[in-house]
Structure 1
Amino acid sequence: MSSILLAAVSAIVFVLSVRAPVAEGEVGITRAVVPVLCLAVLGAGAYVLQRRHGALETVVALLVVCCAGFAYALSVDPLLASSQKSDSIVLSLPVVAATVSGVGRRSLASCLLVCGLSYVATSSASVLGTEIGQREIVVDFTALGSVIAVFALLIVLWLARRNAVQEAPALDRAAKEQESIDEEARLLGHASSLLHDTVLGDLHAIAMLEPGPIPEGHLDVIHRDLDLLARSDELLRAPGSAAIPGLIESTSENRLTSTLARVGSRGLRVIVSGDVHELDTLDAAAEEAIVAAIEQCLVNVVVHAGVSLAELAIVAFGDEVTATIADAGRGFSASATPSDRLGLRLSVHDRMLGVGGSATVWSTPGAGTSVLLAVPRGGS
């Protein structure tokens, strides 16, 4: 701001030096050299006031600004018309430039102090130089108004900053609370998906048994589910970090093998094609999500399709890994699917969306169902 004002004054001084009457053999523009040099020195002092905040540096800079203002008022006086008084714009703007040089201080008190001292020093020097030039001394409302405006602006900004600082802890707490709520919702969704994929599916399989003693294999499933429910706190870990026996194994191949074994125990044979090891290129969350979604799709075949055979193809395509699950069963109409059916919505679609992937379902009543799952390498 100071440099802009001083540049404007320099331009005015050059214009005045050209337009003012000159003696014979004198070049008018040369009379602007000394005032412009004084303005340059004043600008250097203002720069120090803005950038250097040490006590000694501030005092020296104020002295430089004061002396430069006095020399400027003396040197520019011959270029002014005789009718002009001490409040001429050519004399006021350097005072304003020096005043605003104190706004860069760290505290409100130091800003007000430096701005006030700069105003007093520069305006006094300007008045003294003008008085020596025998011009009429009047109140410079331009310079006075500028210092009042600067003081008011600094106070308003300080009050706004103080209010912002006072409100910052509350805003920080609100942000943390919202983050906690979002994380809890994500973890609860993850736990709900795991619960739906395991316990509810296993209970449905047991309900489909013929009357009589429960087979040993199904008893093992019951014990596993009871252990899973007893250790429900592990469900609230981030995807890929839980280590629940029988649910999440160490490698994608083991995960998928365990999935195929579980649906196989319910009478479904799955023909696998493609490259299972492509799942190893995914991060833990994406790998867990797609394997769990594959299992849910195969469980849906067992429960709803009415067939004992399904196909699974795992293929890498560009930056994505895809899994296609297809059966030739009953099929269904998406518009006729009950809203309380959580399998496709919660355990398939939401899982894929959670890792930046997608799930696309094609089904026609009487013509089977195909599901295409896609997740990006490296997660979302």
Structure 2
Amino acid sequence: MSSILLAAVSAIVCVLSIRAPVDEGEVGIARAIVPVLSLAVLGGGAYVLQRRHGALETVVALLVVCCAGFAYSLSVDSLLAMSQKSDSVVLSLPVVAATVSGVGRRSLASCLAVCGLSYAVTSSASILGTAIGHREIVVDFTALGSLIAVSALLIVLWLARRNAVQEAPALDRAAREQQSIDEEARLLGHASSLLHDTVLGDLHAIAMLPQGPIPDSHLAVIRRDLDLLSRSDELLRAPGSASIPGLIETTSESALAGALARVGARGLRVIVSGDVDELDTLDPAAEEAIVAAIEQCLVNVVVHAGVSLAELAIVSSGDDVTATVADGGRGFSAAATPADRLGLRLSVHDRMLGVGGSATVWSTPGAGTSVLLSVPKGVA
């Protein structure tokens, strides 16, 4: 700001030096040399006031500004018309430029002090030089107004900053609370998917068994599911939980093998093709989601398709890993599926969306069902 004002004054002085009457043999523009040099020195002092905050540097800079302001007012006097007074814009702008040089200080008090001192010394020097030139001394409302405006602006900004600092802890608490709410909702959604995949699936498997004792293979699956449900409940009650680990095995091979073993215990044979190792390219959350979605699709085959054979193909396609689950069973009409059916929506679609993936279902009554699951590699 100071440099812009001083540059504008220098341009005005150059114009005045050309247009003002000159004595014979005198070059008009030469009369602008001393005022412009004085403005340059004043600008240097203003720069030090803005950038250097030491006490000694401040005092030296104020002396430089004062001397430069006095030299400028003396040297520019001959370029002004006799009718112009001490509040001429050519004399006011350097005072304004010096006044605003204190705004770069660290505290409100130091900013106000340096602005006030800069105004006082530069204005006094300008008045002294003008008085020596025998011009009428009047109140310079332009320079005084700049001091008042800068002081008011500094106070308003300081108050706004103080309020922002006081409100920051409350905003931070609100952000943490919202993050906690979002995390709780995510965990509850995860738990709902787990509940659907285990309890309902186990109940259906028991219902499909013939009368008599429950086979050991089914009992093992039920015990494992009850254990997982118990541990997930503990994790949901723990504040700050970032995930629900342990719902499925941690490696892709054991996770998929566990899922196939569970549906196998319910009488479904699955033909696996493609490259199962592609699941290793996924991050743990994405791997868990797609394996759980695969298992739910296979459970749906057991429950709804009326067949004992399904196919699973896992491939890598560009930046995605895809899994296709297909069966030749009864199929269904998506338009006729009740909105409250949770299997595909909660345990498949929502799981895929939660890790940036997608699930696409094709089914025709009497012609089987195919589900395409896709998850980007490296999902965080």
Specify the code of the residue in structure 1 equivalent to 2:364. Answer: T
Aligned to 1:160: 160
In structure 1, C-alpha distance between the alignment counterparts of 2:249 and 2:39, rounded to whole Å: 78
Aligned to 1:149: 149
Q: Could you report, residue by residue, the CA deviation over 1:244-289 in whole angstroms, capped at 9, with x for unpaired residues? A: xxx5224211111111111111111111111111111111111111
In structure 2, C-alpha distance between the alignment counterparts of 1:275 and 1:367, rounded to whole Å: 27
2:130 is the counterpart of 1:130: yes
Aligned to 1:75: 75
Aligned to 2:10: 10
Is 347-356 or 86-95 further displaced after alignment? 347-356
In structure 2, C-alpha distance between the alignment counterparts of 1:186 and 1:264, rounded to whole Å: 30
Q: Contact 1:103–1:111 at 8 Å: present in 2 too?
A: yes
Q: Contact 2:73–2:130 at 8 Å: present in 1 too?
A: yes
2:40 is the counterpart of 1:40: yes
2:99 is the counterpart of 1:99: yes
Identity of aligned pairs, percent? 86
Q: Contact 2:221–2:262 at 8 Å: present in 1 too?
A: no
Aligned to 1:208: 208
Q: Contact 2:50–2:105 at 8 Å: present in 1 too?
A: yes
Aligned to 2:340: 340
Aligned to 1:283: 283
Matched residues, number:
376
What stretches of structure 1 of length at least 5 have no aligned partner?
Answer: none
Q: Contact 1:6–1:94 at 8 Å: present in 2 too?
A: yes
Q: Contact 1:234–1:242 at 8 Å: present in 2 too?
A: no
In structure 2, C-alpha distance between the alignment counterparts of 1:195 and 1:123, rounded to whole Å: 80
Is 327-336 or 132-141 further displaced after alignment? 327-336
**Residue 298 of structure 1, CA deviation:** 0.5
Q: Secondary structure at the match of 1:113?
A: helix
In structure 1, C-alpha distance between the alignment counterparts of 2:9 and 2:132, rounded to whole Å: 21
In structure 1, C-alpha distance between the alignment counterparts of 2:229 and 2:260, rounded to whole Å: 22
Aligned to 2:245: 242
**Residue 222 of structure 1, CA deviation:** 2.6
Q: Contact 1:190–1:235 at 8 Å: present in 2 too?
A: no
Q: Could you report, residue by residue, the CA deviation over 1:150-184 in whole angstroms, capped at 9, with x for unpaired residues? A: 11111111111111111111111111110111111
Q: Secondary structure at the match of 2:366?
A: coil
**Residue 233 of structure 1, CA deviation:** 4.1
**Residue 32 of structure 1, CA deviation:** 0.5
In structure 1, C-alpha distance between the alignment counterparts of 2:250 and 2:135, rounded to whole Å: 93
In structure 1, C-alpha distance between the alignment counterparts of 2:214 and 2:174, rounded to whole Å: 52
Aligned to 2:308: 308
Q: Could you report, residue by residue, the CA deviation over 1:86-133 in whole angstroms, capped at 9, with x for unpaired residues? A: 000000000000000001111111111110000010000000000000
In structure 1, C-alpha distance between the alignment counterparts of 2:101 and 2:315, rounded to whole Å: 67
1:182-201 equivalent positions in 2, closer than 5 A: 182-201=182-201
Aligned to 2:265: 265
Aligned to 2:376: 376
Q: Contact 2:95–2:119 at 8 Å: present in 1 too?
A: yes
Q: Could you report, residue by residue, the CA deviation over 1:286-321 in whole angstroms, capped at 9, with x for unpaired residues? A: 111111100000001111111111111111011111
**Residue 197 of structure 1, CA deviation:** 1.8
Q: Secondary structure at the match of 2:375?
A: strand
Aligned-pair RMSD on alpha carbons? 1.3
What stretches of structure 2 of length at least 5 have no aligned partner?
Answer: none
Aligned to 2:173: 173
Specify the code of the residue in structure 2 equivalent to 1:242. Answer: P
**Residue 232 of structure 1, CA deviation:** 2.6
Give the alignment's TM-score, normalised by structure 2. 0.96
Q: Secondary structure at the match of 1:310?
A: strand
In structure 2, C-alpha distance between the alignment counterparts of 1:250 and 1:181, rounded to whole Å: 27
Q: Secondary structure at the match of 2:48?
A: helix
In structure 1, C-alpha distance between the alignment counterparts of 2:88 and 2:261, rounded to whole Å: 95
Specify the code of the residue in structure 1 equivalent to 2:191. Answer: A
Q: Secondary structure at the match of 1:184?
A: helix
Q: Secondary structure at the match of 1:350?
A: helix
**Residue 229 of structure 1, CA deviation:** 2.8
Q: Could you report, residue by residue, the CA deviation over 1:350-373 in whole angstroms, capped at 9, with x for unpaired residues? A: 111111111111111221111111
In structure 1, C-alpha distance between the alignment counterparts of 2:31 and 2:195, rounded to whole Å: 90
Give the alignment's TM-score, normalised by structure 1. 0.96
**Residue 234 of structure 1, CA deviation:** 5.7
Q: Secondary structure at the match of 1:225?
A: helix
